[in-house]
Structure 1
Amino acid sequence: MTSAHITIYGIPNCDTVKKARAWFTSSALAFDFHDLRKQGVPPHALARWIHAVGWSKLLNRNGTTWRNLASAAQAAVLDEESACRLMIDQPTVIKRPIVELSGACPTLITVGFVPDQWLSWCQDLR
């Protein structure tokens, strides 16, 4: 799996993202970091994530961004299309981190802090 590439998507001040970055660093696994707040949500990536885990798992209804939305804006999120619009407009409403291992077939994607799963797919990268 030498052509595999790890990308962590999140925001730098998120504690869970910090924990994930530290885990990959301490595991001696190189990764790129994509700041969703500064760089936005890549539409092609959002489509991959939704295909892999579903829009409802990506949408963080427990976070500050969601809680700070007007109730009408929350109520308007009814399906994949409306959730995508919100996630593109408000990237911090996406559950973090999203870790993507490209170069695998298919691309492997996780949401949240799941080191056991990362370890299972990253053993060949060391």
Structure 2
Amino acid sequence: MGDVEVKLYGLKNCDTCKKAMKALDAAGQEYAFIDIRAEADLAALAPVWLKRVDAGKLINTRSTTWRQLADADRARAGEDPAAVLAANPTLVKRPVIERGDEVFVGWTKDVQLALGI
């Protein structure tokens, strides 16, 4: 399984992303870090992620970005979550980790176990 590339989408200043990167480094697991705001094509990525992960898990409704969203955008998140995520990259719950066809969201014990950490 070492030949499957791991991509970690997040923000450099996100504490959870830092923890994930530190743990991946400590486990000797290679990964590519992609800045979700500057480098990720969320218009292309969000629909793919949403096929594998429930929108409720991918959209961070506890974030400042969510609280500042207009009611219309919040309503639209239920109908077209990919478009809302593409327009608001910081709404994505971080990190999002891709490994082959798998998509993991957050840095929970379940995610760590799935990645063998």
Determine the structure 2 residue equivalent to 1:93. Answer: 91
Determine the structure 2 residue equivalent to 1:110. Answer: 104
Check if 1:9 corresponds to 2:9.
Answer: yes
Q: Is the 8 A contact 1:5 1:101 kept in 2?
A: yes
What is the percent sequence identity of the aligned residues?
31
Q: Return 5+ residue gaps in structure 2 as ranges.
A: none
Matched ranges for 1:33-112 at <5 A: 33-79=33-79, 82-102=80-100, 107-112=101-106
Q: Return 5+ residue gaps in structure 1 as ranges.
A: none
Determine the structure 1 residue equivalent to 2:25. Answer: 25
Q: For 1:51 and 1:12, how far apart are their aligned partners in 2?
A: 26
Shift, 1:21, TM fit: 0.8
Q: Is the 8 A contact 1:41 1:87 kept in 2?
A: no
RMSD, aligned α-carbons: 1.9
For the structure 1 residues 68 and 29, does the alpha-carbon distance in structure 2 shift closer, same or farther, using more than 3 Å as the test?
A: same
For the structure 1 residues 85 and 7, does the alpha-carbon distance in structure 2 shift closer, same or farther, using more than 3 Å as the test?
A: same
The normalised TM-score by structure 1 is 0.81
What secondary structure does 2:38 align onto? helix
Which portions of structure 1, spanning 4 or more consecutive aligned residues, are displaced by more than 3 angstroms?
Answer: 40-44, 115-123
For the structure 1 residues 111 and 120, does the alpha-carbon distance in structure 2 shift closer, same or farther, using more than 3 Å as the test?
A: closer
